[in-house]
A and B are shown apart, each in its own frame.
Chain A
Amino acid sequence: SCISLHTVLMTLSVTTLTNLSCSFRQLQEKSLKISSTLYVGNLSFYTTEEQIQELFSKCGDVKRIVMGLDKIKKTPCGFCFVEYYTRADAEHAMRFINGTRLDDRIIRTDWDAGFKEGRQYGRGKTGGQVRDEYRTDYDVGRGGFGKIIQMQKANHQPAIY
């Protein structure tokens, strides 16, 4: 017989839930502490794997690059994962590549728990990254205006004088 999620939640005490989420966070932190994979953000849509390889190779041998793709179009959508063979090399990238420029954009690197199939796709509603749904600026390297603004513009009624 099925037990509803609601019942489960009600029978678990608050402490248990807190403990569970704490353990999960601890596990997450632990895997980040040993990870040699980096998430790289704020890339231009036009930045290639070659450019990323060249830049990140300065910190050590790169094991693998996984380009972030628009879920629908399957084209690069401005992020990627860079995996090194050693943690030490990844630490160098966090120290010396994070916050520097690639394709004239300041890129950001963050520790990542490790690439898993499916994580290469943007999670925004229109297929790209979530941040590109909501942003209001015009960014030439990331498809222009944010998606919501683009849709608003498309639906905009011409003014009647």
Chain B
Amino acid sequence: MSGQPHKRRRTSEPSEIEERLESLICRVGEKSNSSLESNLEGLAGVLEADLPNYKSKILRILCTVARLLPEKLTVYTTLVGLLNARNYNFGGEFVEAMIRQLKECLKVNMYNEAVHLVRFLSDLVNCHVIAAPSMVAMFENFVSVTQEEDVPQVRCDWYMFAFLSSLPWVGKELYEKKDAEMDRLLSQTESYLKRRQKIHVPMLQVWTADKPHPQEEYLDCLWSQIQKLKKDRWQERHILRPYLAFDSVLCEALQHNLPPFTPPPHTEDSVYPMPRVIFRMFDYTDDPEGPVMPGSHSVERFVIEENLHCIIKSHWKERKTCAAQLLSYPGNNKIPLNYHIVEVIFAELFQLPSPPHIEVMYTTLLIELCKLQPGSLPQVRSSTETKKRLKRLNAFAKSHCILSFDRSDCLTQDLEKPKPKFVREVLEKCMRLSYHQRIIDIVPASFSVLSPANPVCIYKYGDESNRSLPGYTVALCLTIAIKNKASNDEIFSILKDVPNPNQDDDDGEGFTFNPLKIEVFVQTLLHLAAKSFSHSFSALAKFHEVFKTLAESDEGKLHVLRVVYEVWKNHPQMIAVLVDKMIRTQIVDCAAVANWIFSSELAHDFTRFYIWEILHSTIRKMNKHVLKIHKELEETKARLARQHKRRDSDDDDDDDDRSTDREDGPLEEQIERLQEKVESAQSEQKNLFLVIFQRFIMLLTEHLVRCETGGIDVFTPWYKSCIERLQQIFLQHHQIIQQYMVTLENLLFTAELDHHILAVFQQFCALQA
């Protein structure tokens, strides 16, 4: 026996084997030198051999890939089929594990993943793992959910979607085995789809016109696709089915029956996916040179789009991998893949209420795709309404020179019309990513009316000619003092000399609302700090005390915002960052910002993009603030609970109440304080939304009344923009707003309201009805 220690053992550590199994399973189906079939065969052999020792691990990995890698669905169902053929019991255990996983997903509202599991189970019918009749029985239970009473429509929608969206994979097999039952299911489906409400649809449509591409409600579209599939005798040619190659092996396998599946009942905590509208931008007329695009009602279109969406979902964090995976989607030469990819990306980008992933991901993904396929990405022909996301996309993409569009028809129109407005906003966004002179240089002279303003600050006390303005001399004093690094106290004493135009309101303290004081101080300071964001932020920080005092009242806060606007109206980006800082340092509050946005001084800019950027950012800050305090409260409660637990376990029969009280005291006090903080924050949050909705209603009603009495058309560009902005508030913050439905219905969106405005509220209610 050699004295050398054995460096290689016959078997590796268990954890190494488990890692290797996971890696083998995850990687099967990717690019390889051998064929997919031989890889699957080989892997099935390896796994079969490892079943005695690693069965539960293998079960877990397979269940996970079924849930998380739906784009490789048929690869894994084939694998399971092969394993079931070799080991009947394992097949049974896998099916049971999948059912457990499905129930779990439904319990915790993971509906998108649940759809993948249902589809996986249905494809297992094709692999002879599950008996067709039992799958039909499960679908019967799904469809019967539409008979439930007093449940939200979105619940029935989901079960219907889970059934219909599995049919491209398994429709043929199920119909062959159980045609009568399937016909019954399909006719029940048809009657459900006919009677369901579609109030929500207008709110979710991206384009307001139906030309050139109608935007269908997602279930309607899917139903048309399944109807066509049935008419084609369930012939489906796009899906890759590796199990076909193993037919001789698989048909020898014994099948399992799915246990009877009762859909878990609806509870108060159930949150179902929101309905969608299918976004289309291409059809068979696009790319006449290449392969024809499958029609909008072909099941191939559905399958391709589903798979591409799944690929994005799996790989969005790594843009290079994502682009590569999208471009290597099989069927490359039979379908216009690049068009599908672009359409799917834009569909996600334009999805309402919000895209599934952060917007900037889509722009960088498009850039990566362009790098891999230069010159072959399709031109985006966009001939309809504007969308703020397209604006952002355009600006970012312009800095990478991808998109170009011809907008010469913008110049002849009223500047408020969508097309010229769109161009103006895009140019402004482009300027933010570069600089003013560059935009002036690249925009042709004929377009100059659409160019953004030079972002310079406007200081009203700057010129000698403004000598006569009240406060001019104080402004001069202040300028010198600030340049000489005056303290807050010195600033206060200089400002004492400013007369108050609201003379009768002044009680002599000097701390009541004095608009002139605010004007002089804020104008001067912002002017001195105009050089950069950092300079302005330093100024806000250094003179925070002065700001807080001057802006103590609600009118004070509003006036500070007004002056900021007056100084920086040419530089919307600066306004946005200043307002952000002032909220964060509590110089102004969120409600003040909301009131300022709806004020008459801002009416001219009301439909400009930056205003809504500011409002949504303000709402988001409010929401994050509430969440933060809530989290603090929960953490403190948890600490108290842990303290109790520790005491209970140490405790014998010691009854010393006083000592336990003393221990709990500080934490309980903290919890009480935090509880108050949470309540006050939540009330502030609710108030913010109420203010916003109230002001919207006032503004829109005013317009509607004016139009009615004047006999003019309601649908001006301003009105359309305004209504869409109201919809946007609902959609972007729907989760929070859901809490206020009763208040909104009883207080603001009552039956007396003009039907134009009420419709928006009703459509929103329909989204979770």
A, B co-complexed: yes
Q: Which A residues are closer than 8 A to B by beta carbons?
A: 48-51, 53-55, 58-59, 61, 65-67, 92, 95-97, 100-104
A61/B580 in contact, CB under 8 A: yes
A54 / chain B contacts, CB cutoff of 8 Å:
429, 432-433, 573
Q: Count of chain B residues with Cβ under 8 Å from any Cβ of A?
A: 28
Q: When chains A and B are docked, how far (Å) is the Cα of A49 from the Cα of B529?
A: 14
B573 and chain A: residue at smallest CB distance: A50
Q: When chains A and B are docked, how far (Å) is the Cα of A92 from the Cα of B400?
A: 19
> What is the distance, in angstroms, from B221's C-beta to the closest C-beta of chain A?
31
Q: Write 28 A-B pairs (CB below 8 A) sorted by A numbering.
A: A48-B435, A49-B533, A49-B534, A50-B532, A50-B573, A51-B432, A51-B433, A53-B533, A54-B429, A58-B358, A58-B360, A58-B392, A59-B358, A59-B360, A61-B580, A61-B617, A65-B534, A66-B534, A92-B360, A95-B318, A95-B364, A96-B360, A97-B360, A97-B364, A100-B364, A102-B399, A103-B434, A104-B399
Within 8 A of A (CB), among B411-463: 429, 432-435
A-B pairs, top 9 by smallest CB distance, nearest first, are A58-B360, A54-B432, A96-B364, A96-B360, A49-B533, A49-B532, A96-B361, A54-B433, A92-B358
> What is the distance, in angstroms, from A43's C-beta to the closest C-beta of chain B?
13
B438 and chain A: residue at smallest CB distance: A103
A48 / chain B contacts, CB cutoff of 8 Å:
435, 532
Q: When chains A and B are docked, how far (Å) is the Cα of A13 from the Cα of B317?
A: 45
Q: When chains A and B are docked, how far (Å) is the Cα of A49 from the Cα of B435?
A: 11
A89 and chain B: residue at smallest CB distance: B358
A50 and chain B: residue at smallest CB distance: B573
B396 sits at the interface (CB 8 A): yes
A65 / chain B contacts, CB cutoff of 8 Å:
533-534
B320 and chain A: residue at smallest CB distance: A99
B367 sits at the interface (CB 8 A): yes
A50/B533 in contact, CB under 8 A: yes
> What is the distance, in angstroms, from B435's C-beta to the closest C-beta of chain A?
7
B360 / chain A contacts, CB cutoff of 8 Å:
58-59, 92, 96-97
Q: When chains A and B are docked, how far (Å) is the Cα of A51 from the Cα of B432?
A: 6
B432/A67 in contact, CB under 8 A: no
Q: What 5 new A-B contacts, CB under 8 Å, besides A51-B434, A92-B361, A96-B363?
A: A48-B532, A49-B534, A50-B432, A50-B574, A100-B400
Q: When chains A and B are docked, how far (Å) is the Cα of A67 from the Cα of B535?
A: 12
B358 / chain A contacts, CB cutoff of 8 Å:
58-59, 92, 96
A54 and chain B: residue at smallest CB distance: B432
A95/B317 in contact, CB under 8 A: yes
B533 and chain A: residue at smallest CB distance: A49
> What is the distance, in angstroms, from B539's C-beta to the closest C-beta of chain A?
15
B476 / chain A contacts, CB cutoff of 8 Å:
none
A58 / chain B contacts, CB cutoff of 8 Å:
358-360, 392, 396
B392 / chain A contacts, CB cutoff of 8 Å:
58
A96 / chain B contacts, CB cutoff of 8 Å:
319, 358, 360-361, 363-364
Contact of A101 among B319, B399, B532, B533 (CB under 8 A): B399
Give a binary string over B607-624; 1 marks a CB under 8 Å from any A CB, 0 the rest.
000000000010001000
A103 / chain B contacts, CB cutoff of 8 Å:
434
> What is the distance, in angstroms, from B430's C-beta to the closest C-beta of chain A?
10
B577 sits at the interface (CB 8 A): yes
> What is the distance, in angstroms, from B577's C-beta to the closest C-beta of chain A?
7
Known: A51-B435, A100-B367, A102-B433. A95 touches B361 (CB 8 A): yes
Q: When chains A and B are docked, how far (Å) is the Cα of A53 from the Cα of B576?
A: 11
B573 / chain A contacts, CB cutoff of 8 Å:
50, 53-54
A95 / chain B contacts, CB cutoff of 8 Å:
317-319, 361, 364
B432 / chain A contacts, CB cutoff of 8 Å:
50-51, 54
Within 8 A of A (CB), among B297-326: 317-319
A94 and chain B: residue at smallest CB distance: B317
Q: When chains A and B are docked, how far (Å) is the Cα of A33 from the Cα of B372?
A: 32
Q: Tell me which of A50, A67, A92, A101 has the highest count of chain B C-beta atoms within 10 A of its own C-beta.
A: A50
B399 / chain A contacts, CB cutoff of 8 Å:
101-102, 104
A97 / chain B contacts, CB cutoff of 8 Å:
360, 364
Q: When chains A and B are docked, how far (Å) is the Cα of A97 from the Cα of B361?
A: 9
Q: When chains A and B are docked, how far (Å) is the Cα of A61 from the Cα of B396?
A: 18
> What is the distance, in angstroms, from B322's C-beta to the closest C-beta of chain A?
10
> What is the distance, in angstroms, from B619's C-beta to the closest C-beta of chain A?
13
Q: When chains A and B are docked, how far (Å) is the Cα of A50 from the Cα of B429?
A: 12
A53 / chain B contacts, CB cutoff of 8 Å:
533, 573, 577
B533 / chain A contacts, CB cutoff of 8 Å:
49-50, 53, 65
> What is the distance, in angstroms, from A46's C-beta to the closest C-beta of chain B?
8
Q: When chains A and B are docked, how far (Å) is the Cα of A92 from the Cα of B361?
A: 8
Within 8 A of A (CB), among B546-586: 573-574, 577, 580
> What is the distance, in angstroms, from B126's C-beta to the closest C-beta of chain A?
37
Q: When chains A and B are docked, how far (Å) is the Cα of A102 from the Cα of B361?
A: 16
B617 and chain A: residue at smallest CB distance: A61
A49 / chain B contacts, CB cutoff of 8 Å:
532-534
> What is the distance, in angstroms, from A82's C-beta to the closest C-beta of chain B?
12
A100 / chain B contacts, CB cutoff of 8 Å:
364, 367, 400
Known: A50-B573, A92-B360, A95-B361. A67 touches B617 (CB 8 A): no
Within 8 A of A (CB), among B355-375: 358-361, 363-364, 367
B363 / chain A contacts, CB cutoff of 8 Å:
96
Q: When chains A and B are docked, how far (Å) is the Cα of A50 from the Cα of B436?
A: 12
A95 and chain B: residue at smallest CB distance: B317
Contact of A67 among B319, B534, B574 (CB under 8 A): B534
Q: When chains A and B are docked, how far (Å) is the Cα of A95 from the Cα of B621?
A: 24
Q: When chains A and B are docked, how far (Å) is the Cα of A55 from the Cα of B399?
A: 11
Q: When chains A and B are docked, how far (Å) is the Cα of A59 from the Cα of B360?
A: 7
> What is the distance, in angstroms, from A109's C-beta to the closest C-beta of chain B?
13
> What is the distance, in angstroms, from B357's C-beta to the closest C-beta of chain A?
10
> What is the distance, in angstroms, from B341's C-beta to the closest C-beta of chain A?
18
A101 / chain B contacts, CB cutoff of 8 Å:
399-400
